[in-house]
Chains A and B, each alone.
Chain A
Amino acid sequence: MLNCKVNGKEIKVKQGTLVIDAIKQADYDVAHYCYHPGLSVAGVCRLCMVKIGDNPRLQIACNTPVQEGMEISNEDEQVKDAVKWGLDFHLINHPLDCPICDQAGECELQIQYMKFGQYDPEMAEKKVKKRKVVDLGSKIVLDTERCILCSRCVRFTDEVSKTNELGIFNRGDRSEVGTFEDKPLENDYALNTVDICPVGALTSKDFRFRQRVWYLKNQSTICTGCSTGCNVKVYYNEEGLFRVKPEFNEDINGYWMCDQGRDVYKFVNKDFRLLEAQSVTEGQAEPLSAGKAAQLAGEKLKELTKVNGPESVGVVVTGQYTNEEYESLFDYMVNKLKVKNIYHWVNNSDTMDDFDGLLLRGDKNPNTYGLKEIMKKYSIQTNMSDLEGAIKSNTIKTIVVAGPENQAVYPDFNERASLFSQASNLIWFSAGPVSAATSKHTLVIPTKTYAEKSGTYVNYKGTHQSSHKVTTIVRGALSLSDSVTLMSGESILTKPVGPQKAMKTNFFVNKSGEL
């Protein structure tokens, strides 16, 4: 550990820490654009100027390692002047088209101007005109005029995705970021460049113009796109989820996430959801509320296990639920109904162990390992292929399916659904509509998606990560645990926790007399 002083405040930092990180550690703001902790140091924006000791020449904080006893100041007048002018240099050729720029609201130019700038601009000359709205393939739009040439995106494609598509062309103030001959930027991690772009030069086509960022709230959660379990932030408002961005977690995803994970929010939105439960009897569909449907399912299962025995019931589980949900489902099935025919539905056994070397994994379920753990705990050893024979030979007459919430990653979804439909009774928990479930007696119960419930997911290396509820999209949906509680005939009314306190009365309520 090294001792150093930042603006007079003494702190201890690790050996090899850069001055810029030391300043952040000491809770001071430092202006910077090109420095990104996940990338190499470029040192080109020249904004993170600090004064070190009595050295009259300012140093850049991002390329200076802390030394023992260093006295760092970034609140010196000289530093302030350098930062102010540094911002001025950045802004003189910036087009200031904030009204049509998607980055407005989270733009580093805006934020840092308000923090460190606030000067009267002196530039009276014409700005340099560059190319706007350059199409970089299916994901990204480039605006070279807004670009401040921090080179973060270029370094990202060089160092992280190692695809080297981006480069800086030309020189001087004619410099432009771009791809060779405008070839598309189509690697699996391309949208990270949009995240790290401090300005609106790179914008995501998916999110482009859909919302202004200040209308969105964000919350941390876990990406359920694959078994890596990246830590992400979802951005949402009352209309639904709008985008997903990675959040730093050193052990799992670093600063990045893949582009496929960014599409995972889509099935959560109302358009792709099952809004209420459906009971289909001999082709006659009848809508009903999820709670009612769950109670009905519980009664039915009780009756069927009594009549046909627990061996006639088969349960199919996918790796897309939380540990808590598995626990309640298994407890209900194994302990209460004595059903032992629980099968693990694997969507893609061939590509299960694929890994692209960075983040993306072939196992498209967030909690396969959690499911395996729980199956071990209840000592259930079954094989999905046995189920087909059991259905055909009519030994299994009732099937309960805890179906996938992200149906798009299940290529055999419809095929399986029609197989399950051959059983005479089918109870299907699903977040999205299941049109292929056409059994004689079908009950489809809407479930919550990962953004609507709290729970624990276990990733590929056994890390238990808890995710928290973000928002509610479909009010009628139930989590699997709630459904199971209802099925077992209990109520899910939450009781107040802790000692009861008298309700705080409003001063103006019940006040009578003269005013």
Chain B
Amino acid sequence: MSIVKKPDWKANWYLIGIFSGLWFTLKTMVINIFNKDKMPTVNYPEEKYEYGPRFKGNHVLTVKKDGSVRCTACMLCATNCPANCITIAAAEHEDPTVEKYPISYEIDILRCVFCGFCEEACPVDAIRMGPEWQTPGLGHQDFHYDIQKLAYRANLKGGVLSRVDDEERHHAGI
């Protein structure tokens, strides 16, 4: 909804505004040239801003000690997802202590609203939201993240190990 207002009569004196704006720019430029450290902006994309570790960026599927995905395909994240962007297909695992695992786990990152509900719903710490946020792609196909991308993308260096380990859980009798 846009409401069109009639321009104020003061706006006719726009040259003053322009020059005052230019003056601010010039002033800040000069200050920044002599005081580069305190500059609030970065030269993206050459320089990149690092967010804190709790930033809710792209999803990461954590892995177990043996490197397999921790996810048990309980689908609580998919159920909880307000954007309906998670699609999981479960299958029976050969190892009876694992029993169920996802054969496919896809996140449509373009639909994702980065609310973090999936992370909260997960009972086994299998999905986390990492600090990455730059997700360029050339087509729609680049924004369907599968297990390979979510758990083993290059910058994860073999995957993120979860704190909670099955063996320890088993030992504790949980």
Contacts and interface: CB of A to CB of B under 8 A. Distances in A.
Direct A–B contact in the complex, CB atoms closer than 8 angstroms? yes
Interface of A: 96-100, 104, 125-127, 129, 132-133, 208-210, 212, 214-215, 515
A100 B72 contact: yes
A430 B92 CA distance: 35
**Contact size range, B:** 20 to 34
- A-B CB proximity, top 7 nearest: A126-B173, A99-B74, A133-B96, A100-B100, A209-B90, A100-B72, A99-B72
Given A99-B72, A132-B96, A133-B99, A125 B90 contact: no
Given A209-B90, A209-B92, A98 B74 contact: yes
Given A100-B73, A515-B1, A212 B99 contact: no
Nearest to B88: A212
A99 B125 CA distance: 12
Interface centre among A99, A208, A210, A212 (most CB of B within 10 A): A99
Nearest to B75: A212
Contacts of A126: 172-173
B41 interface: no
Contacts of B1: 515
Secondary structure at the B interface, as helix, strand, loop or mixed, is loop
A132 B97 contact: yes
B173 A99 contact: no
Interface string B122-165: 01100000000000000000000000000000000000000000
A409 B100 CA distance: 34
Contact of A99 (B91, B124, B174): B124
Interface string B77-103: 001000000000011100011011000
B110 interface: no
B39 interface: no
A99 B123 contact: yes
Given A100-B99, A126-B173, A133-B99, 17 more contacts: A96-B174, A98-B74, A98-B123, A99-B123, A99-B124, A100-B73, A100-B74, A100-B100, A125-B173, A126-B172, A132-B97, A208-B92, A209-B91, A214-B79, A215-B75, A215-B79, A515-B1
Contacts of B113: none
Contacts of B22: none
Contacts of A133: 96, 99
Contacts of B174: 96, 127
B26 to A, nearest CB: 41
A471 to B, nearest CB: 20
A126 B171 CA distance: 9
A207 B91 CA distance: 11
A238 to B, nearest CB: 12
A214 B121 CA distance: 15
Given A99-B74, A100-B74, A214-B79, A209 B173 contact: no
Nearest to A143: B99
Given A99-B123, A100-B100, A209 B74 contact: no
A229 B13 CA distance: 87
B31 interface: no
A69 B3 CA distance: 75
A209 to B, nearest CB: 4
B96 to A, nearest CB: 4
B76 interface: yes
A132 B173 contact: no
B173 A212 contact: no
12 contacts: A97-B99, A98-B74, A98-B123, A99-B124, A100-B74, A100-B100, A125-B173, A126-B173, A129-B173, A208-B92, A209-B92, A209-B100
Contacts of B72: 99-100
Contacts of A99: 72, 74, 76, 123-124
A209 B104 CA distance: 13
A293 to B, nearest CB: 36
Nearest to B170: A129
B79 A212 contact: yes
B114 to A, nearest CB: 23
Nearest to A515: B1
Contacts of B96: 132-133
Contacts of A100: 72-74, 99-100
Nearest to A212: B75
A127 B123 CA distance: 19
Nearest to B102: A209
Nearest to B171: A126
Contacts of A98: 74, 123
Contacts of B92: 208-209
Contacts of B172: 126
A132 B96 CA distance: 7
A326 B8 CA distance: 78
A324 B100 CA distance: 46
A99 B100 CA distance: 9
Interface centre among B74, B91, B96, B99 (most CB of A within 10 A): B99
A214 B97 CA distance: 25
Interface string B58-72: 000000000000001
A125 B99 CA distance: 25
A515 B99 CA distance: 59
Contacts of A127: 173-174
A515 B124 CA distance: 50
